[in-house]
Amino acid sequence: MSLTLDNTFTQLENFGHSLRASSYCFRPTRTEEIYEVFRLAKETGLTVTARGAGRSYNDASLNGGGIVLDMSAMDQILEWDPASGRVRCEPGVTLRQLWQRVEPDGWWPPVVSGTMKTTLGGCLAANIHGKNNFQKGPIGEHVMEFTAMLPSGTSITCTAEKNADLFYAMISGLGMLGVFTSITLQMKRIHSGLLSVDAWPVPNLSRHLRDLLDNAPHYDYIVGWLDATTGGKHLGRGQIHGARNLKDGEDPNAQQTMQLAYQHLPDRLFGVMPKSLLHYFMSPFLNNLGVWGINTPKYIPSARKHTFRQSHAEFHFLLDYVPNWERSFGRGGLIQYQSFLPRETAETAWREMIELSQRRGLPSYVGVTKRHRPDKFLLTHTVDGFSLAMDFKVTNKNRATLSKMLQDFDRIVLHAGGRFYFAKNSETSAEAARAFLGEETIVKFKKLKQCCDPNNLLESDLFRRVFG
C-alpha cells in the first residue's frame, strides 16, 4: 500500500516550547520506508526534515507545512563488540540506550550532550560537543562509519577516508544532505562508573575564563556555571567543575559502580518528592531575586574548592534530573543563545552582552561555559576558545525585544570573530551565517546539496532561515 498524507498532520515544538510548526509526520521503522516518504514528498511537492528526539532548542527539526520524518522508531543497537568498543546503531538510538548498553562492559560514549534523550542521528547532524570538547573534539571525530539515504533512494557509506567530503559535511549538515540510517562509533574505555570532580568558585568573568583555560589540560571534562544576573565587579562569577576519569585500580568497587543500578538517577528527590513535579516548584525562582538567592551561596569567593565522586550519568546529565525542567520557564518557553568565541576576545564580548542583557531587563537565568578547540567539519561551530550558553525566558511581552537583543548579540559575536551553533540559536540570520561560515564554505555546502538533493527535498525551518 502506498503512503498518503491523510491523518498525519501534527503540531510539533522545539525543545524549549517557544516555537511551533505543523507537519505531516511519518515514523519509519525500516530504511525502505524512508524512501517511500521521499517518493511521496516528490509527488506532493513537499519538503522533508528528519527529526530525532526533537531536543534542539530551535527550529532544526521543524518543517512547517512539510513532512517530518520521525526517526525515533529506528532505535536498534545492531552490533556491540565489548572487546573493541565498537558499536553500530540505527539513528534513532538515544544516548541513554547507548551508555546503558556499553557502560557495564567498561565503556562510555566518547562525547555526550547535557541530556541523554538525544538520538545518534540528531547528534551527528548537529555534530554535538561535550564537556570534553577541548580534548576529544565533537562526536563526528569518533564516527568510524555511517550510511545515509539520499533523497534519490541511493544509500551511501562514508568514513573519514571514503566519500570524505560527504563524511565531513553530513556530520554537522543538519540533515540537509541525507538521512542517517546506520552509525558506527568508537566508545571510550573507563575503569570505574565514577568520576572524580573538583568544584570551585570563581569571582568574576576574567578568572572564570582563565580558570577554564589553565585547568582544562588537567581534566577530562571541564564546565562552568555562570551567574549572568550579577554585574559590576562580580560580573561573570561562577563555579567550575573539572572532572577526571578514575584510573585502573583507583575504584575498588569498579565492577559495581559501572552497573546500571549504580548509575540510575533517582526518581524522587530526598526519597519523597517525585521529580516529575519539581519543575512546578522551580518556576517561582525564575526571576531576578530567586536566581540571585540560589546563585549567591554557590559563587561566594569564600566557598572553598571541594572534591567529590559522581557517577558518569549524574555528572553528564544533570539536567535530566528534573524531568521537563524547561516547563519551569512558563508558557512562552525558553530560548538558548550559545556563542563560541576565541580566547582572545571572549571576555570583552561576553561582558558587553551580559551588561546589555541586564540593562535591557532581559537577564539570562542559566549560563554555562565550556572550553573548545576547532574541528574539520564543514559547518563547524567551535573555535579555539570558549562557549557561553545562556537561557532566556520567552513571554508574549518580551518576544520582540528579546529577538532584537539576540540580534545585537550576533553583531557583538561576529565582531569578536565568534561562531554560532545551529542546534541552539533561533535568531541566526542568513547574513550572520554567511559572515561566520565564510563564502567558500557556503558554496561548498550548496554544491554538495545540489549533488545529494538536486530537487531540494530536504529542507527545515532552520535551513530556510539560514540558507534559504
Residues that bind ligand FAD (CB under 6 A): 15, 49-56, 60-61, 71, 91, 113-115, 118-119, 121-123, 125-126, 128-130, 174-175, 179-180, 319, 423, 460
Provide, rounded to whole angstroms, the least separation between the CB of residue 34 and ligand FAD: 9
Rounded to whole angstroms, the Cα distance separating 201 from 224 reads: 9
The CB-of-55 to ligand FAD minimum distance in angstroms stands at: 3
**Which ranges of 142-204 would DSSP assign to H, the alpha helix?**
164-170
- Residue number with CB closer to ligand FAD (50 or 202): 50
Question: Which is closer to ligand FAD, CB of 49 or CB of 357?
Answer: 49
The CB-of-118 to ligand FAD minimum distance in angstroms stands at: 4
Instruction: Based on DSSP, count helices (H) and strands (E) in the chain, helices before strands.
Output: 16, 21
Nearer to ligand FAD, 326 or 410 (CB): 326
**Given the complex with ligand FAD, which of 296 and 441 has the nearer CB atom?**
441
User: Which of residues 169 and 235 has its CB atom nearest to ligand FAD in the complex?
Assistant: 169
User: What separation in angstroms does the CA of 419 have from each of 58, 71, 89, 267, 385?
Assistant: 16, 29, 31, 38, 11
Residue 183 CB coordination number (10 Å): 25
Alpha-carbon span 309 to 161, nearest angstrom: 40
Work out how close the CB of 51 gets to ligand FAD at its nearest, in angstroms, rounded to a whole number: 4
Element (H, E) at 202: strand 194-202
Q: Which residue has the cell 546539496?
A: 449
Q: Which residues contact 378 (CB under 8 A, 6 or more apart)?
A: 168, 169, 172, 173, 441, 444, 445, 448
Cell of 373: 578547540
Smallest distance from ligand FAD to CB 355, Å: 26
Give the shortest CB-394-to-ligand FAD separation in angstroms: 15
What are the backbone angles phi and psi of residue 392, rounded to the nearest 5°? -120, 135
Minimum CB–partner distance for residue 163 and ligand FAD (Å)? 16
The DSSP code sequence of 262-306 is HHPPPSEETTTEEGGGHHHHHGGG-SHHHHHHHHHHHH-TTSPPE
Q: Which is nearer to ligand FAD, 17 or 351 (CB)?
A: 17
Q: Which is nearer to ligand FAD, 179 or 240 (CB)?
A: 179
264, 409 contact by CB (below 8 A):
no
Coil, helix or strand for 259?
Answer: coil
Choose between 347 and 375: whose C-beta lies nearer to ligand FAD: 375
Helix (H) or strand (E) holding 41: helix 31-44
Least distance between ligand FAD and beta carbon 241 (Å): 13
Report the nearest approach of ligand FAD to the CB of residue 257 (Å): 23
Question: Which ranges constitute the DSSP H helices of 360-437?
Answer: 399-415, 430-437
Residue number with CB closer to ligand FAD (123 or 435): 123
